Chain A
Amino acid sequence: MKFTLPWLKEHLDTTAGVETIAKKLTDLGLEVEDVTDPGAALAGFQVAEIIEVARHPQADRLSALKVRTADGVLSVVCGAQNVRQGLRGILARPGHVVPATGVTLTKAEIRGVASEGMMCSWRELGLGEDHEGIIDLPGEPEVGMPAVAALGIEGPVIELKVTPDRADCFGVNGIARDLAAAGLGRLKSRDFSPVAPGTDAVTRTRLAFAPGNEGACPLFVTRTIKGVRNGPSPDWLQRRLTAIGLRPISALVDITNYLTFDLCRPLHVFDRNKLQGDLVLREAEGGETLVGLDGRTHTLTAGMTVICDDTGVVSLAGVVGGESTSCDEGTTDVVLEVALFDPLRTAETGRRLSIDSDARARFERGIDAGLVLPGTEFATRLILELCGGRAGPVEIAGKVPEVRGRLTFHTAQIGRLAGITVERDEMEAGLKALGFGVDGGPDLYEITIPSWRHDVSTEACIVEEVARLHGYDHIPPVSVPRMAAVSAQVLTPEQRRRSDVRRLAAARGLMEAVTWSFMPEGLAMRFGAAEPIRLQNPIHADLSALRPSLLPNLLAAVRRNVDRGFRGGGLFEVGPRFMAAEPGRQAWNCAGLRFGELRQRNWLEPVRNVDVFDIKADVLALLTAAGAKVDTAQISTDAPDWFHPGRSGRVRLGPQVLASFGEIHPAVLAELGIELPVVAFEFDLDSLPKPRARAVRGKGALQASPFPAVERDFAFLVEEGVTVDAILKAIRQAEKQLVREVSVFDVYRGQGVEPGKKSVAVAVRLQAQDRTLTEPAIEAVSQRIVASVAKATGASLRG
């Protein structure tokens, strides 16, 4: 919502300057977005008269002028051809900055003649393209008059961000009312007194809504005005509209725009001679069309509120008028329409047809029902004043609805909700100035809500009115009372472990990413969505479905980073993945990946690509941090099919899958355009065993054996298909007491090992809790280990 300071002052008698007004508006909740003052650059520029014109002695194209100003006569050298004695124009003097060029004027000598100022062109003042000559002001403006006044510059323009509840502040009068209530001046009223009819010309109107739909237009007021002349509107009106960014069109159109902003009272004016028969308001039938004033042909859907004549639809109620019955230069007779249209229907129509008009913006927020008849009078008066003509009687279809609500207000609510005490006088005066009826008191009031305040419905609303007039600045801040002397833990164990996992992943060298919850539908299906969770209105085809996995977006990020020149790196994300289109069918997931070279090229060791064991280390560490017991977990080889089938696995606790990890399937990488190997993991944090709050924090006593440990190495020859895990399990089962640690230190294929087999070298550490192991005891354990592994895997000891 834009308006100008002089415009505001027609509604508000105030001496306040634009800065004071802007601050007060913001304090009232009418947030000022911008204040611009096109006249500010012309401060000091003034009207001056040329009293003598002489040829410059040294230059044919220049004149040496004598110019009369408010404080004496100056010499000015001028290059314009339209100089003449008696011309009154705008003079800039040394020290002034020429708006169009940014140059600061100085006293100068131009080819030997002193010049003490500059007579300006329109273009030099930044007020147009006219540079044919200097400004030649019409009439005889007083010498010394400020340029801003002489040029009719409208003054500072204020732009507000009006919140949608304050429908009344989409008019300058509503803004002025708030300022007056806040003590910044006195509210002035437009002349709403009835204009006596000068003709009995009428246009018959009829409301023809189906029963139950009368609310579409409860009130439709018209007035026929004959004998108007529809030329350009006067300068002051054109200037005002231009200042707020509207294009002046013709007097009649400009008047409707003017009232839209002046009183938040949108109007429509039909050319009566283009109408056939009566005006009928009804619901549109599907498929009817209207060529709007916006130049577009709109196809209407059933139920939209339309205004029709005998030929069909001529206007879309509250949204846009029709081209066929619009006013032009030839218009002589008009029908002025001042109506109330249903906000919801107006909004719906505008939305469906994508029409954002100033009228729609106001009707959909709610128009002041009390202003329909006064607005009709003011509009009539303005038309007669600017266009002449004779007005017919006011014709009313429907009736003014009773919208002034009432509520009971307990004064105590101010203290209870706002934490302030406001004097009774201040409170009552403020509410009255806003238009509220205030009866009773001091503890209990009967409040009547003004017809323009659809936003007020509860006691809390009244508290807000009182508090904002009083000033939010004057509400004393109070810290919230502490719940306990020492703050308690607030994070749940699940929340805590998300943070632990994040920080460990970063500590292991992975960068935390935050990627969209959306992804392309096709990828969602490739990554496990049985049925993609589609958006109706995605912002882009690549963001059309909710993600079933975090990996695709991370892989897309790999692609972008490779394009940026990275040859290796790691990323992870902790965030939601979505299983089904249902609130709550989502899980906190942690996914991570490493791509390309594990480390940069360096002098210490050869470069190698990341492999599945790098990422296995990551996932096991993160699962441990999340509280899962990975030393008792099993690894199975049934990872989802976006992983390489032979280089991936799952971490399981019995039937429960904790995590998947492995190389990303080469086909998936090819599809995504990634040419480096990628290893990745993913797990749902929510499905890990719940961290349990323990009653006892003690860790139990350390059981360190004082007796020496011995290490024995074994090399088992097994078939290629035997998993190392099976060997390790067989070793642990062979001797549960003494085996402390089993580690694999070599897997060998090649010379000395027959094809199809592999040699797995294992170190076993043995230690007893209560004695030193003797050689025969160690030998016996070794025998049992070999037997157990042989039985479980068919292994033989390598000779």
Chain B
Amino acid sequence: MTLDVGSLRDQALAAIDAAADLRALDEVRVSYLGKKGAVTGLLKQLGGMDPDSRKEAGRQINELKDRLESALGERKAGLQAAALEARLQAERVDVTLPAREEQVGRIHPVSQVTDEIIAIFADMGFAVAEGPDVEDDFHNFEALNLPKEHPARQMHDTFYLEAEQNGAPLLLRTHTSPVQIRTMLAGKPPFRIIAPGRTYRVDSDMTHTPMFHQVEGLLIDRRTHMGHLKGCLIDFVRSYFESDRIPVRFRPSYFPFTEPSAEMDIGCKRSQGELVVGEGSDWLEILGCGMVHPKVLRAVNLDPDEWQGFAFGMGIDRVAMLKYGIPDLRTFFEADLRWLKHYGFMPLDVPTLAGGLSR
């Protein structure tokens, strides 16, 4: 008996070729190689053959089987590739469509600039001290060599509360200087602190708001003099404005709580209504400072013959406006979402000296 392996092979190969998809291909596989398939049927006939024929027929069937399996494999791979290709085509989307919206907020310039100021002074060894917004006459005025009826008190345009303490009305601090007093009364010298915070004055126009922000600085030890005051503040403004060439000037001035007193100006240029810091021939006042007045030291029980040092007070909003070109102080406190998005800072822009204060 001979087997018609050849025609079976041709028939099977044609069926494999004709299979249009994986399911059809599997049906072809079953119809030839399955338990009841044609090739399997051939194998079942081997039992009735004589040994020689069986050997020959066995070889032919195995050859056929191998051939079909490899043809099936190839066809399967081809169909899979085609199916994947079809799927990819079907799954196409327009990737120019907008992405899923994510909202990122902003850090207010006052917070950001406060962080910048802290970063710089921290490197110079200044800790951050704090004090209350509601103050009493002693801490805000009396201890700062501003006794009652002192004419300079009028410059302070103080907000008073209806509530009193020890017969005197409480007030909203007019400057951050009372934090100096609280710090020195609470601790032991030497002191190196800055004190950023809210301050209040009865004032409202283009450049004044009833609430604003100041940062106080205080350095008390046994040897700090005006040269250090100048050095410290020059180091600060050059670091803050990120330029070694900022022109600076110190002018004598007057504050009841410092003697000698000074105001610090930085060089700037006004052109076409814009203010450029760091160049030009104009000067812009940025802070008041001086050597802590002996009467202030005595008020906090320090001997002015032993302890000495400097203090300064600077407007945070003001230096924020200067550095980042923000034109109007009043807009700081309006919480206008457009303004916050424009002038605010990204949450991860944490100012550091190592990474840079600003981008």
Q: Is B211 touching A518 in the complex (CB atoms < 8 A)?
A: yes
Within 8 Å CB of B231, what residues of A?
Answer: 477-480
Interface string of A433-469 (1 = CB under 8 A from B): 0000000000000000000000100111101100110
Q: Is A467 touching B149 in the complex (CB atoms < 8 A)?
A: no
Q: Is B105 touching A537 in the complex (CB atoms < 8 A)?
A: no
A582-B107 contact, Cβ under 8 Å, with A29-B251, A417-B260 = no
How long is the Cα–Cα vector from A749 to B325 in the complex, in angstroms? 57
Q: B37 near A: Cβ within 8 Å? A: no
Min CB distance, B224 to chain A, in Å?
7
Interface string of B228-265 (1 = CB under 8 A from A): 10111011000000000000011111100001111100
How long is the Cα–Cα vector from A584 to B143 in the complex, in angstroms? 18
Q: B347 near A: Cβ within 8 Å? A: yes
Q: Is B335 touching A554 in the complex (CB atoms < 8 A)?
A: yes
**CB-CB contacts below 8 Å: A151-178 with B:** 163-166
Which residue on chain A has the smallest CB distance to residue B353? Answer: A487
Which residue on chain B has the smallest CB distance to residue A568? Answer: B103
From the candidates A488, A507, A560, name the one contacting B348 in the complex (CB within 8 A).
Answer: A507
Q: A561 near B: Cβ within 8 Å? A: yes
Interface string of B131-142 (1 = CB under 8 A from A): 011111001000
Q: Is B340 touching A511 in the complex (CB atoms < 8 A)?
A: yes
**CB-CB contacts below 8 Å: A473-515 with B:** 473, 475-480, 482-484, 487-488, 490-492, 495, 499, 502-515
Interface string of B185-200 (1 = CB under 8 A from A): 0000000100000101
Min CB distance, A622 to chain B, in Å?
12
Q: Is A463 touching B111 in the complex (CB atoms < 8 A)?
A: no
Within 8 Å CB of A603, what residues of B?
Answer: 97-98
Chain A interface size band reads: 35 or more
Q: Is A475 touching B169 in the complex (CB atoms < 8 A)?
A: no
Interface string of A21-63 (1 = CB under 8 A from B): 0000011110100000000000000000000000000000000
Give the contact stretch, choosing among A3-11, A327-335, A340-348, A719-727: A340-348
Min CB distance, A85 to chain B, in Å?
50
From the candidates B308, B336, B344, name the one contacting A560 in the complex (CB within 8 A).
Answer: B336
A566-B337 contact, Cβ under 8 Å, with A419-B226, A464-B252, A508-B105 = yes
Q: Is B161 touching A533 in the complex (CB atoms < 8 A)?
A: yes
Number of A-B contacts (CB under 8 A): 277
How long is the Cα–Cα vector from A482 to B235 in the complex, in angstroms? 13
How long is the Cα–Cα vector from A658 to B133 in the complex, in angstroms? 24
Q: B338 near A: Cβ within 8 Å? A: yes
Within 8 Å CB of A464, what residues of B?
Answer: 252, 259-261
A517-B133 contact, Cβ under 8 Å, with A166-B254, A472-B250, A512-B108 = yes
Within 8 Å CB of A27, what residues of B?
Answer: 251-252
Which residue on chain A has the smallest CB distance to residue B114? Answer: A499
Within 8 Å CB of A477, what residues of B?
Answer: 227, 230-231, 234
How long is the Cα–Cα vector from A542 to B188 in the complex, in angstroms? 43
Q: Is A29 touching B253 in the complex (CB atoms < 8 A)?
A: yes
Min CB distance, A608 to chain B, in Å?
13
Within 8 Å CB of B224, what residues of A?
Answer: 480
Interface string of A544-564 (1 = CB under 8 A from B): 001000000110010011001
How long is the Cα–Cα vector from A305 to B336 in the complex, in angstroms? 52
Q: Is A509 touching B337 in the complex (CB atoms < 8 A)?
A: no
Q: Is A475 touching B335 in the complex (CB atoms < 8 A)?
A: no
Which residue on chain B has the smallest CB distance to residue A167? Answer: B151
Within 8 Å CB of A351, what residues of B?
Answer: 154
How long is the Cα–Cα vector from A195 to B232 in the complex, in angstroms? 57
Interface string of B178-213 (1 = CB under 8 A from A): 000000000000001000001010111000001100
How long is the Cα–Cα vector from A511 to B337 in the complex, in angstroms? 7
Give the contact stretch, choosing among B62-70, B77-85, B116-124, B270-278: B116-124
Within 8 Å CB of A504, what residues of B?
Answer: 347
How long is the Cα–Cα vector from A400 to B117 in the complex, in angstroms? 53
**CB-CB contacts below 8 Å: B70-103 with A:** 97-98, 100-103
Q: Is A479 touching B332 in the complex (CB atoms < 8 A)?
A: no
From the candidates B127, B210, B250, name the one contacting A473 in the complex (CB within 8 A).
Answer: B250
Min CB distance, B99 to chain A, in Å?
9
How long is the Cα–Cα vector from A359 to B231 in the complex, in angstroms? 41
Interface string of A774-799 (1 = CB under 8 A from B): 00000000000000000000000000
**CB-CB contacts below 8 Å: B313-341 with A:** 332-338, 340-341
A537-B134 contact, Cβ under 8 Å, with A27-B251, A478-B227 = no
Q: A569 near B: Cβ within 8 Å? A: yes
From the candidates A164, A459, A543, A561, name the one contacting B151 in the complex (CB within 8 A).
Answer: A164
Q: Is A535 touching B159 in the complex (CB atoms < 8 A)?
A: yes
Q: A599 near B: Cβ within 8 Å? A: yes
Q: Is A468 touching B198 in the complex (CB atoms < 8 A)?
A: no
Q: B39 near A: Cβ within 8 Å? A: no
Within 8 Å CB of B259, what residues of A?
Answer: 458, 460-461, 463-464
How long is the Cα–Cα vector from A455 to B107 in the complex, in angstroms? 45
Which residue on chain A has the smallest CB distance to residue B178? Answer: A583
Q: Is B198 touching A517 in the complex (CB atoms < 8 A)?
A: yes
From the candidates B134, B225, B334, name the one contacting A418 in the complex (CB within 8 A).
Answer: B225
Which residue on chain A has the smallest CB distance to residue B250? Answer: A472
Q: B1 near A: Cβ within 8 Å? A: no
A583-B251 contact, Cβ under 8 Å, with A347-B151, A509-B105 = no
**CB-CB contacts below 8 Å: A739-771 with B:** none
Within 8 Å CB of B118, what residues of A?
Answer: 490-491
A517-B308 contact, Cβ under 8 Å, with A164-B152, A602-B101 = no
Within 8 Å CB of B4, what residues of A?
Answer: none
Q: A324 near B: Cβ within 8 Å? A: no
Give the contact stretch, choosing among A93-101, A116-124, A570-578: A570-578
How long is the Cα–Cα vector from A347 to B100 in the complex, in angstroms? 66
Q: Is B260 touching A560 in the complex (CB atoms < 8 A)?
A: no
From the candidates A461, A480, A564, name the one contacting B228 in the complex (CB within 8 A).
Answer: A480
Q: Is A583 touching B333 in the complex (CB atoms < 8 A)?
A: no
Q: Is A347 touching B226 in the complex (CB atoms < 8 A)?
A: no
From the candidates A479, A508, A535, name the one contacting B160 in the complex (CB within 8 A).
Answer: A535
Q: Is A582 touching B134 in the complex (CB atoms < 8 A)?
A: yes
Within 8 Å CB of B252, what residues of A?
Answer: 27-29, 464, 467-468, 472
How long is the Cα–Cα vector from A347 to B340 in the complex, in angstroms? 44
How long is the Cα–Cα vector from A517 to B172 in the complex, in angstroms? 10
Q: Is A585 touching B134 in the complex (CB atoms < 8 A)?
A: yes
Q: A477-B227, A512-B105, A586-B132 are in contact. List 4 more A-B contacts (CB 8 A).
A: A415-B225, A514-B111, A518-B211, A557-B336
26 contacts between A and B (CB under 8 A): A27-B252, A31-B263, A164-B155, A347-B149, A417-B226, A420-B226, A458-B295, A472-B251, A473-B249, A476-B227, A477-B230, A480-B224, A487-B122, A491-B118, A505-B105, A506-B107, A507-B348, A509-B103, A514-B335, A533-B161, A539-B204, A543-B210, A557-B335, A560-B336, A571-B337, A585-B132
- Tell me the A residues contacting B by CB distance below 8 Å: 26-29, 31, 163-166, 343-344, 347-348, 351, 364-365, 415-420, 455, 458-461, 463-464, 467-468, 472-473, 475-480, 482-484, 487-488, 490-492, 495, 499, 502-518, 533-539, 543, 546, 553-554, 557, 560-561, 564, 566, 569-572, 574-576, 578, 581-586, 599-600, 602-604
The 4 closest A-B pairs by CB, nearest first: A29-B252, A509-B103, A419-B227, A464-B260
